[in-house]
Structure 1
Amino acid sequence: MFKFNCYSSDISDTQKALNDVSTQCQPAYKPTVILVYFDVQLNAKAIWQWLTLHFPATPFILSSSCQGSLCHNKHHDTGFATLTITTIEDDSGQYHICAGDTQNQSIYDTAQQTAKHLLTDIKSEPPELLWVTLTPGDEEAALNGIQDVIGTRVPIVGGSASDNDVTGQWQIFTHASSKPCQMAIASLTPSVPISFSFSSGYAPSGRTTEVTESSGRQVITLDGIEAARQYNHLTNGAITEQLRGGNILGQTSFHPIGREVSKDEYLLSHPERVNNDGTMTLFSQLAQGDHLHIMQGSTESLLQRAHKVIQSAQNGLTEPEISGCLLIYCAGCMLSVKPQFDQVSKNIKKHFSAIPVTGAYTFGEQGCFLDGQSRHGNLMISAVVFGV
């Protein structure tokens, strides 16, 4: 029998938060797999030790999430839990977790190696879905490494680990070691149907441009013009004060760059910084010749998108009833609407009542569009729903 549950605490003291969660999830319970999200103000090593003590035979992923995580169930409804533990009990399903560490090799090679270990553990048909937790920085290479081993038919969904202020304090662990790793990949083949959705929640503004020179995540020129200057023109002066250099994450959250990957489906890139030479750095890669849309969003659209993407995933099930949901919500979007973010939890509660929903706030999002290709983007949201 399939059971999906999530438990959370709002306490900022690590041991007290663990005690709080312990009273809810009863450590005698034996889940098949566990996913944990925590605020970096908590002690990750203490959480890891608690998990291995109480669930010694259960594989898990432990990852940081920006300024907390979301947990919705019949007992709790919070958008900023310091600790959220999600358990899946499914004796008839197949679940495996592998960790990868670079150790003087590329992210691509690490991802390949991790995916090979995962396939060795599975020893059967390819999984229905891969749930990935990656380190921010070169997620495209990680996805390429995974897909070069497992293929492109297995959808990849997940998010990049995050911290509270983009200072590099993000952390990822698995059950295999108390030392942090570069990535963790979970293969999911549940005994119940699953469905997923990947969405931007933004709309094209009608203004377009083309990448005329780029290098990885750095855009040098747009339409043959200095990238920052042209982007500023197309967004009606959104980054005027940073044209000589500076962080632009806040200024660009409502004006990201989008690539149309299929009809009405856009993969977003979040401009991060203007460099002193007028180039722009983003949180995802763009290539020369990419046709770009200047996208537009609003506080209301960001507050509405969580329950809508869950509904979109739910629509992919033959039967509408769901047991639980894993949600990835971009940290940049969350921070842009944080004063009103309780509306997100209210919307989830209104539409999904007591169904357990776990959400992480990430520094990069991975998901699969209707064309079947898994991609890395920014300012995105994804959901995986489990049927009954």
Structure 2
Amino acid sequence: MEIVTSYSTIETTAAAVDEAVSQLKARLVRPSLLLVYFSGHDNAQVIREQLAAAFPDTQIVGCSSCQGILTEAGYFPDQVIGLWAVFDFNGAYGSALVSTHQLPHQMAKQALLKAIQNAGRSGELPSLVLLHASPGAEEDVIQAISQEFGTPVPIIGGSAADAGVLGEWQLFTQDHCASEGVAVSVFYPSCDLSFSFHSGYAKTDQHAVATKVEGRELIELDHRPAKEVYEEWIKQPLAYGQSIMSLSALHPIGRIAGTLHDLPYFKLAHPNSVTARGGITLFASIKEGEKLYLMTGTEENLVNRTGRTADGLLHDSHQQIEAIGGISIYCAGCMLQVKSKMGMVAEKMQQAMFNAPFICPFTFGEQGQFLGGENEHGNLMISNVLFYRE
């Protein structure tokens, strides 16, 4: 089993794909699976067609990223195409994209079953599901995948992104492209896997109950306009209709996802904007009756948390390992908050991945498995998987 990455920062899409493919083929001729992350290139169809022609027997999934990507070679801002490829003679991999007008959970189920069929492993549980969906209903998608399996299968994923939350995100597989839908890859690798999913934020003493919610708009906290309560929490006035993405990146809303050794761990929701009725829109869904906490973070934490993921990826008993490669999902909101320091983030992520090849897009929502086994969708999170042998 071997994992290889390549990239190109050429501005012309066709030439960028050619360069990335040429780099990849110099080391790996026939990948079992190809992951593609791209930023600043608006024609996913061109990327898909060239890759499908270059690797006709390879399962492919592509997802747009926000303003760049990371690999073990460093941080590449703005315009870039990155490839992550695995060749695994004894493993199996399958990808599928469903982009119909059905409900998200229906698309998720269809994509999952088709991906398993494409892997040639019908009836077998995969070791990992990679999920890339258009933003909006990720919780329903995760629930559908979990219900289909009936037992927890680790999920890693990120919601498709664009440069500025303009709805210009794109998804594709070896078969077709879409701007809205659910893309899935299933992994049956011939190696061990380890996972990490966390935020790096801390809980404050400020909390309230969500007493009125509509879709992804938090309307009331403790029967008061959410805007007023959040203003009191962060001690800053907010204007109606105002985007608060940047402001709230260090002050997200947290919910308890589970506990470990009697200590809670949290999934986060990133406040996006203030509505005319005093509500706050979010990049994650919240249910009425949930207890919400104001979380706090610093730019230093957003940089340093990347290096700490190594502790979560491997248990203490795994002392001697051969790291084959990894996948990381890093929140676009966090990236934008520390963009000037992303070179440091790249270095720390490389250490966390044991200097093995990896790729990392910047997404509008992150999916992962907590230490307690819960697969969840959150914001401002970092999700990792490491492929290794002992």
Superposition TM-score, scaled by structure 1 size: 0.93
1:322 alignment partner, SS class: strand
- 1:153-208 CA distance string (max 9 Å, x none): 11111110100011011000000125556111111111000011100111112221
Aligned length: 380
Identify the residue that residue 104 of structure 2 maps to in structure 1. Answer: 107
Q: How does 1:33-48 map to 2 (within 5 A)?
A: 33-48=33-48
Identify the residue that residue 335 of structure 2 maps to in structure 1. Answer: 334
- 1:266-289 CA distance string (max 9 Å, x none): 100011111011011111111111
Identify the residue that residue 128 of structure 1 maps to in structure 2. Answer: 127
Identify the residue that residue 59 of structure 1 maps to in structure 2. Answer: 59
Q: Kindly indicate whether the alpha-carbon contact (under 8 Å) linking 1:173 and 1:181 is maintained by their aligned counterparts in 2.
A: no
Report deviation, 1:115: 2.5
- Paired with 2:205 and 2:218, the residues of 1 have a C-alpha distance of 21
Q: Kindly indicate whether the alpha-carbon contact (under 8 Å) linking 2:169 and 2:179 is maintained by their aligned counterparts in 1.
A: no
Report deviation, 1:291: 1.0
AA at the equivalent of 2:126: P
Q: Kindly indicate whether the alpha-carbon contact (under 8 Å) linking 1:268 and 1:380 is maintained by their aligned counterparts in 2.
A: yes
Identify the residue that residue 387 of structure 1 maps to in structure 2. Answer: 388
Report deviation, 1:367: 0.8
Identify the residue that residue 277 of structure 1 maps to in structure 2. Answer: 277
- Paired with 2:329 and 2:177, the residues of 1 have a C-alpha distance of 25
Moved more, 342-351 or 61-70: 342-351
Report deviation, 1:42: 4.8
Q: Kindly indicate whether the alpha-carbon contact (under 8 Å) linking 1:159 and 1:362 is maintained by their aligned counterparts in 2.
A: yes
Structure 1 residues 316 and 198: CA distance shift in structure 2, 3 A: farther
AA at the equivalent of 1:141: D
Equivalent of 2:87 in 73, 86, 89: 89
- Paired with 2:76 and 2:292, the residues of 1 have a C-alpha distance of 33
- 1:223-253 CA distance string (max 9 Å, x none): 121111101101122xx142x2221111100
Identify the residue that residue 361 of structure 2 maps to in structure 1. Answer: 360
Structure 1 residues 40 and 137: CA distance shift in structure 2, 3 A: farther
Report deviation, 1:49: 1.5
In the alignment, structure 1 residue 194 sits paired with structure 2 residue 168? no
Q: Kindly indicate whether the alpha-carbon contact (under 8 Å) linking 1:40 and 1:170 is maintained by their aligned counterparts in 2.
A: no
AA at the equivalent of 1:62: G
Identify the residue that residue 139 of structure 1 maps to in structure 2. Answer: 138
Structure 1 residues 140 and 351: CA distance shift in structure 2, 3 A: closer
Identify the residue that residue 372 of structure 1 maps to in structure 2. Answer: 373
- 1:5-57 CA distance string (max 9 Å, x none): 11112222213322332331127701110000001435322211210111001
Identify the residue that residue 16 of structure 1 maps to in structure 2. Answer: 15
- Paired with 2:288 and 2:351, the residues of 1 have a C-alpha distance of 44
Structure 1 residues 309 and 91: CA distance shift in structure 2, 3 A: same
1:341 alignment partner, SS class: helix
- 1:251-307 CA distance string (max 9 Å, x none): 100000001222341100011111011011111111111111100011110011223
- Paired with 1:350 and 1:160, the residues of 2 have a C-alpha distance of 25
- Paired with 2:91 and 2:294, the residues of 1 have a C-alpha distance of 43
AA at the equivalent of 1:71: T
- 1:102-139 CA distance string (max 9 Å, x none): 2x321122112222334444224201111111110111
2:288 alignment partner, SS class: coil
1:323 alignment partner, SS class: strand
Moved more, 285-294 or 42-51: 42-51
Structure 1 residues 180 and 220: CA distance shift in structure 2, 3 A: closer
Structure 1 residues 210 and 180: CA distance shift in structure 2, 3 A: closer
Structure 1 residues 231 and 348: CA distance shift in structure 2, 3 A: same
Q: How does 1:292-331 map to 2 (within 5 A)?
A: 292-315=292-315, 318=318, 319-331=320-332
- Paired with 2:178 and 2:244, the residues of 1 have a C-alpha distance of 33
In the alignment, structure 1 residue 218 sits paired with structure 2 residue 217? yes
- Paired with 2:255 and 2:292, the residues of 1 have a C-alpha distance of 5
Q: Kindly indicate whether the alpha-carbon contact (under 8 Å) linking 2:307 and 2:351 is maintained by their aligned counterparts in 1.
A: no
1:340 alignment partner, SS class: helix
- Paired with 1:87 and 1:260, the residues of 2 have a C-alpha distance of 35
- Paired with 1:93 and 1:385, the residues of 2 have a C-alpha distance of 16
Q: How does 1:63-78 map to 2 (within 5 A)?
A: 63-72=63-72, 76-78=73-75
Report deviation, 1:222: 0.6
AA at the equivalent of 1:166: V
Report deviation, 1:97: 1.1
Q: Kindly indicate whether the alpha-carbon contact (under 8 Å) linking 2:323 and 2:353 is maintained by their aligned counterparts in 1.
A: no
Q: Share of identical aligned residues, percent? A: 33
Moved more, 147-156 or 378-387: 147-156
Identify the residue that residue 248 of structure 1 maps to in structure 2. Answer: 244
1:360 alignment partner, SS class: strand
Q: Kindly indicate whether the alpha-carbon contact (under 8 Å) linking 1:13 and 1:42 is maintained by their aligned counterparts in 2.
A: no
- Paired with 1:98 and 1:57, the residues of 2 have a C-alpha distance of 14
- Paired with 1:15 and 1:112, the residues of 2 have a C-alpha distance of 33
Q: Kindly indicate whether the alpha-carbon contact (under 8 Å) linking 1:173 and 1:179 is maintained by their aligned counterparts in 2.
A: yes
Output the aligned Cα RMSD: 1.9
- Paired with 1:85 and 1:25, the residues of 2 have a C-alpha distance of 8
Superposition TM-score, scaled by structure 2 size: 0.92
Structure 1 residues 368 and 143: CA distance shift in structure 2, 3 A: same
Alignment gaps of 5+ in structure 2? none
